[in-house]
Structure formats: structure tokens, C-alpha cells
Amino acid sequence: MTKNRKSRKRAQKIDTPRVSFPEEKRLPWLTMLLDAYHIADRGIALEISKRLKAGERLACKKGCSSCCSTHVTIPVYPLEVVGIYWYVIEKLVGPERDRIKAQLKAFKAGSGCPFLLDGTCGIHVVRPLACRHFNVFNRPCSPGEDPYYTRRDDVLTPNERFKERALAAMLPFHGIRESSKKKRLARARALDALVKNLQEIDWANLGRRMDGEIMRKTRV
């Protein structure tokens, strides 16, 4: 069996469930986003399984989060920002909602991700692709360490085929629907021109929008 066929077979076996929300009926962009995340998650699971099989140990686990407090360049695509706005405004409830709202209102660039709560991601189901893709092997990051620069080999390299398919799934949000065009633009990383840095977004605006407002239209 060729390497590609083996890899395809393994990818078919790895099934990560796709998250779904009833709101997808009224929010077509949400389906695009969740499809993109599902595709990306499958690619990530595939690459992780290869490295585990090779004897490495995944260092990332729930509660380990220095990356979320110290990384200052986390790219976020426009559809992902819309997804975060929607999730935070419409889905967060209870004390978690109040705490995230307070963190958003107090957010200052460089002060760590405002969605981090007690060492876990407060928006886990809609966390950006960049967060999903960042997986570290063998030992957890030291405080302040970005292993992409200190030990690149310990950082997961995303599966390009799945990453491209995930980006293609987001393109209809930008009016690109034709299959061959989506493939071409995803391969060319056309969406990278629209990327924002999570640390430079005006999150205080989202905090204010949480004050009793339900997002009827997706305006960010």
C-alpha cells in the first residue's frame, strides 16, 4: 500500500465528532465554520496519532495553558471572529459569561488571551484554528516558552491537506463557492491577507456587546 493510501485509510479511521448547534438553521456561516473546524480537527488527530505511534508523548492537556497567556501572535480568520462573537454573546451563560465579559472589557493587547478561565479555554468549541493546530510533544512548555522557536521538532506540523480543506470550507463566507476556485485560493492561502491577530482585536467591544444584547445579525 502506498504511503498516501495508508494515510488516507488512517484518516478515515480517525473520527472526531462534528460539533453542531440548532442555530445552524438560521446562521449559514456557522455551518461553514463548524465544518472547517471538524476538518481541521480530523487532520490534527491524524498527525497526533502518527506521532504517538512513533513513541512521542503529547504534552498538551486540559489545565496546561501558559501558551494562552504568553503567545502574542495568534492568527484569527474573519469567520472565526464572527464565530467567537456569536458564541460569547449568545451561548455563554452563568458565572463563566460574567467572568469572560469582565476579562474582555479589561483586555489590553499583550495581556494574554481574554478567553482563558482557570487554565482552560472558555470558548473551546469555537477556539481558532491556530489554537487547535498548536500541539506540543514530549514535555510541557516552560513558563513563557514558545516551543515553536525553542524546539520546533516538538511542535506538531499541521496536515496541509486537511488545513487547505478547512480553509476552503470557510471561503463561502467570503462569497467563494465554486469548488475549483476554493481549492486554488485555499492552497494559495488567500485568506491570510484578512487574518487578524487575536491579541490586537478590540475585545472590549465584544465585552460591551455582551451587556444584554443578542446578536441578531452578524455584525462585528
Task: Enter the C-alpha cell of residue 54.
Answer: 512513533
Task: Enter the C-alpha cell of residue 154.
Answer: 516538538
Residue from 41, 18, 9, 10 nearest 131 by CA: 41
CA distance 91 to 62: 21
Taking CB under 6 A as the rule, does residue 123 contact ligand SF4?
yes
CA distance 15 to 32: 19
Q: Of residues 40, 100, 131, 167, which one binds ligand SF4 by CB under 6 A? A: 131
CA dihedral 175, 177, 182, 186 (to 10 degrees): 40
Binders in 45-64 for ligand SF4, by CB under 6 A: 59-60, 64
Phi first, then psi: give them for residue 144, nearest 5 degrees: 80, -5
Binders in 136-175 for ligand SF4, by CB under 6 A: 136, 140-141
Taking CB under 6 A as the rule, does residue 74 contact ligand SF4?
yes
Taking CB under 6 A as the rule, does residue 201 contact ligand SF4?
no
Taking CB under 6 A as the rule, does residue 113 contact ligand SF4?
yes
Q: Measured from the CB atom, is 64 or 190 closer to ligand SF4?
A: 64
Residue carrying the nine cell digits 487547535: 132
Minimal distance, residue 133 CB to ligand SF4, in Å: 11
List all residues 6 or more positions away from 3 whose beta carbon is below 8 Å from its beta carbon.
none
Minimal distance, residue 81 CB to ligand SF4, in Å: 11
Q: Measured from the CB atom, is 7 or 66 closer to ligand SF4?
A: 66
Residue carrying the nine cell digits 469548488: 179
Taking CB under 6 A as the rule, does residue 72 contact ligand SF4?
no
Minimal distance, residue 150 CB to ligand SF4, in Å: 11
Q: Which stretch binds ligand SF4 (CB under 6 A): 66-74, 101-109, 156-164, 183-191?
A: 66-74
Chain center to CA of 211: 25
Contacts to ligand SF4 by CB under 6 A:
59-60, 64-68, 74, 113, 115-116, 121, 123, 127, 131, 134, 136, 140-141
